[in-house]
């Protein structure tokens, strides 16, 4: 046991605390330098893997699009009554052997626990190629199934990409996840936003 008095003057307090904070900040700077690139890289890899799964064997070209929800609505994207368009993070044109076969769109619809990030693929023939949730903060066991249950999200593939899909509760064809209607609506919003936005590209 060490019970020595550790009383110090104000100068000592400032110097010691300042030194500790300085060393800590320095350490964090180093760690950040090591990990920052890797973290950005992880995000890109997740996105690329999702796109390759939805539209296989294609080359993707980043169109450099990034639109807030308001900008998307202003671009002429209208969703079924009562639903609002989602933010678009990026649009990627898919080509195979130089021929345009569709688009992948990264959208962020608003779910139950915050925004979901998802990739939606739209085929050139006007159907949905598929969708994949890449990150979310939904309730484990309920809304989290939008990402964890691989069978649920596949129902979007093959649907008409007219931006008018609805969950069954709202009179549409999409089967909602049991107990997670809000998440299901959010994913549907994401698919609709992507579909309607791609339609405006012509």
Partner 1 sequence: MKFSEQLKSGVILDNPVFMQTIGLCPTLATTTSLQNAIGMGAAATVVLICSNIVISAMRRIIPDKIRIAAFITIIATFVTMIDLSMQAFLPSLASSLGLFLPLIVVNCIILGRAEAYASKNKVLPSALDGVVMGLGFTFALVLMGFFRELLGAGTILSGYVNGVNGIAVPFFHSNPMVMMILPAGGFLMMGFILAAIQKIMARKEDK
Partner 2 sequence: MFNLPASMGLTDILSLAIAAILVNNYILVQFLGCCSFFGVSKKTDTALGMGMAVIFVMAIASAASWAVQYFILEPLGLGYMQTIAFILVIATLVQFVEMFMKKAMPSLYSALGIFLPLITTNCAVLGAAKTNISNSYSFIGSLVYGVAAGVGYTLAIVLFASIRERLDATSKCPKCFEGFPISLVAAALLAMSFMGFSGLSIW
Q: What is the DSSP letter of 67?
A: B
Q: How far apart are CA 97 and CA 50, in angstroms?
A: 20
Cα–Cα distance measured from residue 154 to residue 132, given in angstroms and rounded to the nearest whole number:
9
The least distance separating partner 2 from the CB of residue 101, rounded to whole angstroms, comes to 35
Which phi and psi angles does 88 have, rounded to 5°?
A: -110, 125
Decide: is 181 part of the binding site for partner 2 (CB under 8 A).
Answer: yes
> Residue 182 binds what, of partner 1, partner 2, none (CB under 5 to 8 Å, by partner type)?
partner 2
Q: Is 36 in the site for partner 2 (CB under 8 A)?
A: yes
Residue 112, contacted partner among partner 1, partner 2, none, CB below 5-8 A by kind: partner 2
20 contributes a contact to partner 2 by CB under 8 A: no
- Contacted entry of partner 1, partner 2, none for residue 181, CB cut-off 5 to 8 Å set by kind: partner 2
Query: Distance between CA 194 and CA 200 in Å, rounded?
Result: 10
Give yes or no for residue 8 binding partner 2 (CB under 8 A). Answer: no
**The residue to which tokens 């964890």 are assigned:** 148
Q: Residue 100 Cβ, how far from partner 2 at the closest point, in Å?
A: 34
- DSSP structural state of residue 159: S
Please identify, using beta-carbon distances, which residue of 113 and 172 lies nearer to partner 2: 113
Of 49 and 201, CB closest to partner 1:
49
β-bridge partners, 121: 104, 130
Q: Is 182 in the site for partner 2 (CB under 8 A)?
A: yes
Q: What tokens were used for 7?
A: 């009383």
Nearer to partner 2, 31 or 124 (CB): 31
Total residue length of the chain:
202
| 25 near partner 2, rule: CB under 8 A | yes
With left for phi above 0 and alpha for psi between -120 and 50, is residue 163 left, alpha or beta? left
Helix locations, 55-180, DSSP H:
69-74, 145-148, 150-153
Closest CB 114 distance from partner 2, rounded Å: 6
Binder among 56, 114, 126, 141 for partner 2 (CB under 8 A): 114
Of residues 64 and 150, the one with the C-beta less far from partner 1: 150
């Amino acid at each position: 046991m060490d019970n020595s008095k550790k009383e110090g003057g104000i100068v000592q307090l400032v110097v010691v605390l300042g030194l500790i904070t300085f060393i800590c900040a320095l350490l964090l700077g180093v760690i950040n330098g090591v990990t920052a690139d890797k973290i950005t890289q992880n995000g890109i890899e997740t996105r690329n893997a999702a796109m390759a799964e939805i539209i296989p064997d294609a080359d993707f070209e980043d169109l450099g699009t990034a639109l807030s929800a308001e900008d998307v609505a202003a671009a002429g994207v209208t969703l079924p009554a009562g639903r609002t368009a989602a933010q678009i993070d990026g649009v990627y044109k898919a080509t195979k052997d130089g021929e345009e076969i569709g688009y992948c769109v990264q959208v962020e619809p608003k779910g139950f626990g915050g925004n979901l990030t998802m990739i939606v693929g739209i085929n050139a023939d006007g159907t949905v190629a598929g969708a994949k949730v890449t990150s979310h903060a939904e309730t484990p066991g309920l809304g989290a199934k939008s990402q964890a249950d691989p069978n649920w999200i596949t129902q979007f593939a093959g649907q008409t990409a007219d931006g008018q899909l609805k969950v069954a509760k709202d009179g549409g064809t999409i089967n909602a996840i049991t107990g997670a209607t809000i998440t299901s609506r959010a994913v549907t919003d994401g698919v609709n936003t992507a579909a309607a936005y791609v339609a405006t590209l012509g």
